[in-house]
Amino acid sequence: MGTWDIGPFDNDTAADFSYRVDEAPEEQRAEVLRTAFREVVETSGDYLDSDLAVIAIASAALLAAQCPGGTPVTSYGPKKPLPPLPEDLRPLAVAALDLALGKDSELLELWEESDGEAWKASVLELRGVLAGS
pLDDT at 21 over 60: yes
Average pLDDT over residues 107-114: 92
Return the percentage of the chain with pLDDT > 70, whole number: 98
pTM as predicted: 0.95
Average pLDDT over residues 119-133: 94
- The residue ranges of every structural domain in the chain are 12-131
Position with higher pLDDT, 23 vs 74: 23
The whole-chain average pLDDT of the chain stands at: 94
**How do residues 51-100 score in pLDDT, each as one tens digit?**
999 999 999 999 999 999 999 998 889 999 999 999 999 999 999 999 99
Report pLDDT for 1.
Answer: 47
Report the C-alpha gap between 60 and 55 in whole angstroms: 9
User: What's the pLDDT band for 44 if we cut at 50, 70, 90?
Assistant: confident
Cα dihedral 80/81/86/87 (nearest 10): 120
